[in-house]
A and B are shown apart, each in its own frame.
Chain A
Amino acid sequence: MIKLFSLKQQKKDEEGSARPGGSQKKASAAQLRITKDLNELNLPKTCNTEFPDPDDLLNFKLIICPDEGFYRGGRFVFSFKVGPNYPHEPPKVKCETAVYHPNIDLEGNVCLNILREDWKPVLTVNSIVYGLQYLFLEPNPEDPLNKEAADELQSNRRLFEQHVQRAMRGGYVGSSYFERCLK
């Protein structure tokens, strides 16, 4: 046990006095953890990151260029925002490229379990990167966010593929307009 009373009788007079060496601000736990995550980031060859400010490791972009599947040849940008409660809470991830995809809606919300209900602090930025890449290889019509796209993928794969192509080249699918996002 700590004998506070006897330890503290003498002290606490130097109120507010800065001790030598104590002036440098300490890094937050979230900062320490994201540094670790990023230093060990092992990106698949289809992915890349961009840091608008290299001193700010909490906000960055991930670019995925799938080399197979429905979305081959496209270039999709995701924004990552890592909050002060990381890794207790997952980063906030949004898709900035308009994409015709069963699990991504037109506002850029992404339905990936580890981004919400299945997030655990042992997961890392790398886990999310792989999760996102997987969404492009295997869109999952069972958990739809864009319901039309999901229904179409289930009922008419050919048509779905054509619509994905059209959206990536830039154009309308139904009433929604998609900007060109081919590499």
Chain B
Amino acid sequence: MAAGEAQQQPEHLQRRWHYIRKLLERPGPFSHPDFEPSAEILDFILNSCKILVVGAGGLGCELLKDLALMGFKKIHIVDMDTIELSNLNRQFLFRKNDIGSSKAKCAVEFVNKRIPGCEAIAHHCPIQDLDEGFYRQFHIVVCGLDSIVARRWLNGMLMSLLQYNDDGSLDQSSVIPLIDGGTEGFKGNARVILPGMSACIECTLDLYPPQKTFPLCTIANTPRLPEHCIEYVKVIQWSKENPWGPETSLDGDDPQHVAWVLEKAQERAMKHGIAGVNYRLTQGVLKNIIPAVASTNASIAACCATEVFKVATSCCANMNNYMVLNMTEGVYSYTFNAERRTDCIACSNSTKILEVEPQATLQAILDQLRDDQQFMMKSPGITTIINGRNKTLYMSSIKSIEERTRDNLKKKMKELGLFNGAEILVADITTPNTVTIKLKFIENLQDVDMSHYIE
């Protein structure tokens, strides 16, 4: 910041970065041994560091506020949802008038107005609508999501941005750290993921509790709980009666649908002498709602924001790497080192190189995968992605697919849409996961056959 500018500012703004300066411009007993204090770091936070906040709900509102007050200005926030009445008790950037508007937009408007200098930008869309180029622009991604699917997608996206050097080592400048927070009632967790370097979402997928489901036969014949009655209407009765026609699927956000389910569930509960089916429970079961606790969100978001600050400034080592908070009985917390899976489907750099002649047929590639010392596969199934669509190139294990992909074996790579650097996905019993193999065209430099350059 220019000195002249600072003098014109009111006193409270002049002293605005006083405390953060103390952390960044001098070493301290807790700072990282490699930390080099400098004034540039504050400048980086204020003017360069770009952060993406994913989700503008309970955690997202907290995160946006925390980060903006810390000094981060270039913050983008994505959320596809709109504001509902039931959000207002904890999603404090929204007011009653905002009901029905975009969460991301309202949050950004509020924060930009309230916090001087903040230049947050909203994206009201699903995360899947934004592409690689969008995600690549950020230094750090923080997420406060309630969906495992969305987390896995985001994780996969950040992994796909990693670049590896020719010797297989990771190019660290392609790493975009992911700070992930999650809460459920009085429980929460925060974690730091360095894609390609530490355990990712997919490495620790087993840690997510399975969705609570009831055996179908219990729901159908021996219901004992009010939830059983609601599940019955949701799973069985809806598709049987199709009250809004077969095209309309059950929507937990549609009050008419909820009312219909409630009525049917109450009838069923009555028949089986079960009490406790009400509107709230019905909505809860339909939408899998777990009551959100504002203070859990605040705690977890604070941890995440602190980790963002640490990653951005290197002033202090990050948590290693998974923090659990449980406030159901007393307040309990611990941090452990979630380990990477060496065979992780998302973050292990399993991409292998296969050198092929540009004129090779799929059959030739298949033979190479079987015979090459590096692979020695038994009966590889090969798929790829062309123009964003999955394409099965060959799979011998399934008769109907084999018959329809057999002709591909005779085709050359170009005919199949493959190119130099294209990736094929190969599954085989000899490997624990599907392997990604990058095709590298080899040219015979001595006597280059020009014929295939001529179209």
Contacts and interface: CB of A to CB of B under 8 A. Distances in A.
A110 B436 CA distance: 36
Contact of B398 (A41, A116, A145): A41
B220 A33 contact: no
A51 B400 contact: yes
B312 A107 contact: no
A85 B156 CA distance: 13
User: Which one of B239, B240, B314, B389 has the highest number of Cβ atoms from chain A below 10 Å of its Cβ?
Assistant: B314
Interface string B333-373: 00000000000011000000000000000000000000000
Contact of A39 (B239, B422, B428): B428
B205 A40 contact: no
A38 B345 contact: no
A183 interface: no
A120 B218 CA distance: 20
A107 B240 contact: yes
User: Which one of B197, B215, B311 has the highest number of Cβ atoms from chain A below 10 Å of its Cβ?
Assistant: B215
B215 A39 contact: no
Contacts of A54: 392, 395, 400-401, 404-405
B236 A107 contact: yes
A174 interface: no
Interface in A70-121: 84-85, 88-89, 103, 105, 107, 109-111, 113, 115-117, 119-121
A48 B240 CA distance: 28
B177 A18 contact: no
Given A12-B50, A32-B345, A35-B383, A145 B173 contact: no
B214 interface: yes
Interface string B186-216: 0000000010010000100110101101111
User: Which one of B205, B211, B216, B425 has the highest number of Cβ atoms from chain A below 10 Å of its Cβ?
Assistant: B216
Contacts, number: 186
A2 B393 CA distance: 40
Interface of B: 32, 34, 41, 44, 48-50, 132-134, 136-137, 139-140, 148-149, 152-153, 156, 159-161, 163, 172-173, 175, 177, 194, 197, 202, 205-206, 208, 210-211, 213-217, 220-221, 235-236, 239-240, 311-314, 317-318, 345-346, 379-381, 383, 385, 388-392, 395, 397-401, 404-405, 421-423, 425, 427-429, 433-434, 436
Given A31-B390, A147-B221, 10 more contacts: A2-B177, A15-B133, A27-B425, A28-B152, A28-B156, A36-B433, A49-B400, A56-B390, A85-B152, A116-B216
**The 3 residue pairs across chains A and B that have the minimum distance between CB atoms:** A39-B381, A16-B133, A143-B217
